[in-house]
Amino acid sequence: MLKFIGNNFRWLAGGFTLTYFSSFGQTYFISASIAEWRSAFDLSHGEIGRLYMFATLASALCLPFLGRLVDLVPAHRMIAFVMPILAGATLMAGYAPSVIVLVIAIFLLRLFGQGMMTHIALTATGRWFVVERGRAISLVVLGHQGGEATIPLVFATIAIAYGYQTGWLVGAAALLLIGLPFAFWAYQQAREPHARDSKLVKSPRHVRSWTRREVMRDPTFWVLLTGVLAPPFIGTTIFYHQNYMTALHNWPPQLFALSLLVMSLTTIGCALITGALVDRFGTPSILPYALLPLSLSCFALAFSGPPVTLFVVMVLLGISYGISATLFGSLWPEIYGTAYLGSVRAVTVSAGVFATAAGPGLTGTLIDWGIELPTQMIYLGSYCLLAAAALSMASMTLRRRFP
């Protein structure tokens, strides 16, 4: 592993940097300011949830078109375009004078943060690595866990001392002064995988590159999406309603930030293990198991318990996140090739962003209607079991397709 990291440091570190700084567009970071925005603009849980949903839906609609540029424009030039806009969006979010400006800021944060930053990192990694793609992606996606473990804590510290607006200002500065120059340098030189990897193992199975139109006509693709969309929908729901959830169960408010660290450490270990398993057995063999821990985490949240319950939930969520982040990052290039990977992943990323939009909006509205979150979690856990069965069928189909 250390030799692999040393030989590929710039590309792995560049991808890690992109996923790390995508935190400024992720729900677990944005939701830390929900209380301040609700107070400033006099919004209910449902109202701000719907605004968040509409802004995120708009970003999801833009992603299939913007994401295609990754197939046409070199990655470092995309970084030079995306990261300054993301930095500007963080300033808008921190100093929004009205609800309209806030919604525009959230739209840009979701589109260029959660959407494009992750899209560039995983598309480039999936294209540049072939033989050890699972291992490479498992290292790159750790940026998400690094961001979850550190950025909310740093933001909370700054917000307590100087106010939440200063936290957003520091975030914009970090993007421009640290993230942008390093990621641009790392991706300025593209990796050539075939000549370097071909001597390491037996020739990899040739995969025909599918166009986006062909992928959209493949029934297996839509079955796979039933599983791909579950982690972002459920995870975003849990992160978004963190204050509501801790109050409902009488858990200490600061417990959630600590539990995120537990989840991040669990995700890191599971992501690295999954990367090795993907390289050894392929993604179809692991598909049926990806959502089972997520289902258990939903059922655990459905019932009130002591504070330790939250740590159990986060361990289960971390296991599922570690498996799904690496698995679904490796899945699309393995079954649909790399020539049109940017266009294909743009659709899946858009669908994932759509799921994160639906989570807060739908669940917040249901809370306003009197349907408590624990009741909703029972239904979400049941959905995960059904989606796991669908992924098992898709796994059998893919094994027949690629014997």
The model's pLDDT over 202-258, given as tens digits with 9 standing for 90+, comes to 444 566 788 888 988 999 999 998 888 898 889 888 877 877 777 777 888 777 778
Range 350-372 average pLDDT: 81
Above 60 in pLDDT, residue 293? yes
Rounded distance between C-alpha atoms, residue 189 and residue 80, angstroms: 14
Half-sphere exposure of 318 (CA within 13 A, CB side): 25
Above 50 in pLDDT, residue 198? no
Other CB atoms within 10 Å distance of the CB of residue 309: 16
Those residues whose C-beta lies under 8 Å from the C-beta of residue 152, and which sit 6 or more positions away, are 28, 29, 32, 257, 260
The predicted structure's pLDDT at residue 100: 94
DSSP output for 73-84? S-HHHHHHHHHH
The predicted structure's pLDDT at residue 45: 72
Domains observed in the chain:
10-401 (1.20.1250.20)
| Residue reference for tokens 């806030």 | 102
Those residues whose C-beta lies under 8 Å from the C-beta of residue 288, and which sit 6 or more positions away, are 388, 391, 392, 395
Under the banding of pLDDT at 50, 70 and 90, the label for residue 18 is very high
- 295 vs 264, more confident: 295
- Tokens at 63, concatenated: 């992603």
Q: Buried b vs exposed e over 314-348: b needs ≥16 C-beta within 10 Å?
A: bbbbbbbbbbbbbbbbbbbbbbbbbbbbbbbbbbb
63 within 8 A of 115, measured Cβ to Cβ = yes
- 361 vs 48, more confident: 48
Those residues whose C-beta lies under 8 Å from the C-beta of residue 300, and which sit 6 or more positions away, are 309, 312, 313, 316
- 145 vs 55, more confident: 55
Those residues whose C-beta lies under 8 Å from the C-beta of residue 183, and which sit 6 or more positions away, are 14, 17, 18, 21, 76, 79, 83
Above 50 in pLDDT, residue 380? yes
Averaging pLDDT over each range in 121-130, 157-166, 240-249, 322-331, which range is the top one? 157-166
C-alpha closest to that of 153 among 226, 257, 66? 257
pLDDT-above-90 percentage for the chain: 33
The predicted structure's pLDDT at residue 402: 66
- Tokens at 100, concatenated: 């309209």
Rounded distance between C-alpha atoms, residue 11 and residue 136, angstroms: 9
The predicted structure's pLDDT at residue 98: 93
pLDDT tens profile 65-108 = 898 898 889 999 999 999 999 999 999 999 999 999 999 999 99
The predicted structure's pLDDT at residue 128: 85
Which segments of 110-218 does DSSP mark as H helices, in order? Answer: 118-128, 133-140, 142-162, 164-174, 180-187, 193-197, 212-216
Angle among Cα 277, 281, 282 to the nearest 5 degrees reads 95
The predicted structure's pLDDT at residue 180: 96
The predicted structure's pLDDT at residue 388: 92
The predicted structure's pLDDT at residue 399: 82
Would you call 270 exposed, middle or buried from its count of C-beta atoms within 10 A (0-12, 13-18, 19+)? buried
φ/ψ region of 130 (left if φ > 0, alpha if ψ in -120 to 50, else beta) reads alpha
The predicted structure's pLDDT at residue 203: 42
Would you call 222 exposed, middle or buried from its count of C-beta atoms within 10 A (0-12, 13-18, 19+)? middle
Under the banding of pLDDT at 50, 70 and 90, the label for residue 170 is very high
Above 70 in pLDDT, residue 197? no
The predicted structure's pLDDT at residue 278: 85
Range 161-176 average pLDDT: 94
The predicted structure's pLDDT at residue 370: 84
Considering the chain, what is the average pLDDT of its residues?
Answer: 86
Rounded distance between C-alpha atoms, residue 50 and residue 202, angstroms: 51
Length of the chain: 403
pLDDT tens profile 34-52 = 888 988 898 887 788 788 8
Task: Tell me, rounded to whole angstroms, the distance of Cα 343 from its chain centroid.
Answer: 18
Q: 14 φ, ψ to 5°?
A: -65, -45
pTM over 0.95, yes/no: no
CA dihedral 344→348→354→356, nearest 10 degrees, is: -140
pLDDT tens profile 260-279 = 778 878 888 888 898 888 88
The predicted structure's pLDDT at residue 304: 74
The predicted structure's pLDDT at residue 193: 65
The predicted structure's pLDDT at residue 94: 92
Range 296-309 average pLDDT: 87
The predicted structure's pLDDT at residue 245: 79
